């Protein structure tokens, strides 16, 4: 019997569906139009029409963090370049996105090039530039010029995305998108990690156990790699069999429930609460599991370098000694076994999470502290949080997350505008309630995403649990940037006549009516100036059948004390004075 052939586009869609991808984020264009037509014709997958390409990329990033893979389909050149920031962020933060784009057909190229005509949306007559640009921020680039070899190219790209937890680029020429090929005959081949070298893993484990036996105050510091590898259960088992308290980077916050008694808070470098900083600095052994420290951790990492066991994807470092060929999952599994085999290794310390505590009266004006206190009170077992870059991200680090994988931010790439579209993508796959928190500077970057929220109102009404509440922290400034360009804008003069510095003009924002913007699109928009306003808005938001945007007014001079410490940590240490 002859197998009925399918289009190249449908082949890619089927492979995506194998990995639970049910939504494809897209902005249309003529070169990608045939692919989008096939998406709309296909069963089991829905095209999500976003307003612009950056929004689409951020939404795909959020989706992949829940699903494990995502797809964004964009126009060649003018579309893909608009999403370059989002794809670069996914590369930095180990998020597997499949970027699909079209390109002119072979026939069109031959015809126009013979006359010296340059295609629209291209930077020059060199049509390979697009793929070369994205080769720098993806782990695989495939340019599919014909039906021959298309299936193999698609499988190669997706296998790399999954194996390396990183974005890939697939360009399908326009005349190939509906070309016919044989359908998949079995599951997509998946690359398996290489086995650890026995001598290396045993040596690394022996050295780690020796450090553990000598340590009096060990802690686990959990990071990105463990979360991306989906090792939540292994982490829970390791924590409880070891009896060692744990913290996470901001990036991995919420990998397991933070109600766990062994959790003592999120370590955000100098921006952490004092209790967390004290525990980390008093620790005599840091078991760093998959953390990829960014520079706001630099002072701590340098200070504790010789007291750290750092476990990465294919490397263990203990002090300055390196053990190559040790796979992350193998090491963690074997370390659990060592604890089970030797009860004398078990610690006896419990964690001590310091919750946000600022129960101001209802008439009090809003601050970062009392805003996040009220938000923290409303985090339920199924609630997730998306935080954008800014002061909000460091305040979000102090929330107590009650569900696994319940906190997301872009703490390493740090692009403004991520949280609101990212939360939309995450929620489409996850299906549980979310808070999306953005400063007004971040929100203005991707405010058009509200239009996409409005287009999906039928989804909100069909499933009440699929719900997002957006908090826009409205202080009229790029607050975090002002911290680094002029911290004196937040420090009152001793005589009470004002502040030591003015805000830099470039850190001041145009004032928007965010609540009215949401209302104009058919969402619910509310303003909150006081604690009582915010309490009412948050409680009402849970009852609404469409997303609610709460415009949360905070004075521009308000700054949590942790941010003063963060700024100080970036300043070079002064040498001691000469005797």
pLDDT of 56 > 90? The answer is yes
The domain limits of the chain are 6-181, 198-345, 368-563
**If one looks up domain 198-345 in CATH, what number appears?**
3.40.50.1220
Architecture of domain 368-563: 3-Layer(aba) Sandwich (3.40)
> Element (H or E) spanning 308, and its range?
strand 308-311
pLDDT of 32 > 70? The answer is yes
Percent of the chain with pLDDT over 70: 95
Structure confidence at residue 474 (pLDDT): 97
pLDDT digits (tens, 9 = 90+) for 155-183: 999 999 999 999 999 999 999 999 999 99
pLDDT digits (tens, 9 = 90+) for 473-512: 999 999 999 999 999 999 999 998 999 999 999 999 999 9
Percent of the chain with pLDDT over 90: 80
Structure confidence at residue 83 (pLDDT): 98
pLDDT digits (tens, 9 = 90+) for 505-532: 999 999 999 999 999 999 999 999 999 9
Q: Same topology for domains 6-181 and 198-345, yes or no?
A: yes
pLDDT of 342 > 80? The answer is yes
Which DSSP string corresponds to 25-56? EE---TTTHHHHHHHHHSTT-EEEE-SSHHHH
SS3 of residue 195 by DSSP: coil
Give the position of tokens 């089991």. 44
pLDDT of 1 > 50? The answer is no
| Confidence bin at 193 (pLDDT 50/70/90) | confident
Contact 404, 222 (CB under 8 A): no
pLDDT digits (tens, 9 = 90+) for 343-390: 888 876 555 555 566 678 999 999 999 999 999 999 999 999 999 999
Average pLDDT over residues 457-464: 70
pTM assigned to the model: 0.94
Structure confidence at residue 579 (pLDDT): 42
**If one looks up domain 6-181 in CATH, what number appears?**
3.40.50.970
Q: What are residue 415's phi and psi, to 5 degrees?
A: -95, 130
Average pLDDT, the chain: 92
Rounded to whole angstroms, the Cα distance separating 61 from 408 reads 11
| Confidence bin at 576 (pLDDT 50/70/90) | very low
Burial label for 310, CB within 10 Å (0-12, 13-18, 19+), is buried
């Amino acid at each position: 019997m002859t197998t009925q052939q399918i289009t190249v586009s449908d082949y890619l869609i089927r492979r995506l569906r194998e990995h639970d991808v049910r939504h494809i984020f897209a902005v249309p264009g003529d070169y990608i139009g045939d692919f989008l037509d096939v998406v709309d014709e296909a069963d089991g997958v829905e095209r999500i029409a976003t307003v612009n390409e950056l929004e689409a990329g951020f939404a795909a990033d959020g989706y992949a963090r829940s699903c494990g893979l995502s797809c964004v389909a964009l126009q060649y050149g003018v579309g893909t370049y608009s999403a370059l920031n989002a794809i670069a962020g996914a590369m930095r933060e180990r998020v597997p996105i499949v970027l699909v784009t079209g390109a002119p057909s072979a026939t069109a190229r031959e015809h126009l090039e013979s006359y010296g005509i340059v295609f629209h949306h291209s930077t020059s007559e060199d049509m390979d530039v697009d793929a070369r640009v994205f080769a720098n921020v993806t782990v695989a680039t495939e340019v599919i010029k014909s039906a021959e070899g298309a299936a193999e190219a698609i499988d190669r790209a997706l296998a790399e995305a999954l194996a390396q937890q990183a974005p890939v680029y697939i360009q399908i020429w326009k005349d190939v998108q509906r070309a016919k090929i044989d359908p998949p005959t079995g599951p997509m081949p998946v690359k398996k990690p290489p086995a650890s070298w026995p001598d290396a893993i045993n040596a690394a484990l022996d050295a780690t156990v020796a450090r553990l036996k000598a340590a009096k105050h060990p802690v686990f510091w959990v990071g990105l790699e463990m979360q991306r590898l989906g090792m939540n259960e292994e982490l829970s088992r390791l924590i409880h069999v070891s009896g060692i308290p744990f913290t996470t980077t901001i990036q991995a916050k919420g990998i397991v429930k933070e109600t766990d008694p062994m959790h003592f808070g999120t370590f955000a470098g100098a921006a952490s609460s004092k209790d967390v900083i004290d525990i980390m600095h008093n620790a005599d052994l840091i078991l760093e599991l998959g953390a990829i420290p960014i520079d706001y951790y630099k002072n701590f990492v340098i200070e504790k370098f010789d007291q750290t066991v750092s476990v990465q994807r294919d490397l263990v470092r203990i002090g300055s000694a390196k053990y190559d060929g040790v796979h992350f999952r193998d090491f963690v599994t074997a370390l659990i076994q060592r604890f089970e085999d030797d009860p004398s290794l078990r610690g006896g310390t419990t964690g001590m999470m310091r919750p946000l505590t600022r129960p101001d009266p209802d008439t009090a004006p809003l601050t970062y502290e009392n805003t996040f206190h009220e938000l923290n009170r409303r985090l339920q077992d199924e609630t997730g949080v998306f935080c954008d870059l800014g002061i909000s991200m460091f305040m979000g680090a102090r929330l107590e997350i009650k569900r696994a994988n319940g906190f997301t931010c872009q703490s390493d790439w740090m692009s403004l505008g991520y949280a609101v579209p990212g939360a939309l993508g995450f929620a489409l796959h996850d299906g549980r309630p979310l808070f999306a928190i953005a400063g007004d500077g971040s929100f203005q970057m991707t405010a058009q995403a509200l239009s996409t929220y409005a287009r999906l109102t039928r989804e909100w009404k069909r499933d009440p649990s699929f719900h997002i509440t957006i908090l826009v922290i409205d202080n009229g400034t790029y607050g975090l940037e002002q911290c680094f360009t002029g911290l004196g804008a937040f420090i009152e003069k001793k005589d009470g006549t004002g502040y030591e510095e003015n805000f830099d003009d470039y850190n001041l924002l145009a004032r928007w009516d965010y609540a009215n913007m949401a209302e104009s699109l058919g969402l619910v928009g509310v303003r909150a100036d006081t604690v009582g306003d915010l309490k009412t808005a948050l409680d009402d938001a849970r009852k609404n059948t469409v997303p609610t945007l709460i415009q949360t007014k905070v004075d521009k001079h308000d700054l949590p004390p942790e941010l003063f410490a963060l700024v100080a940590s970036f300043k070079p240490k002064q040498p001691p004075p000469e005797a």
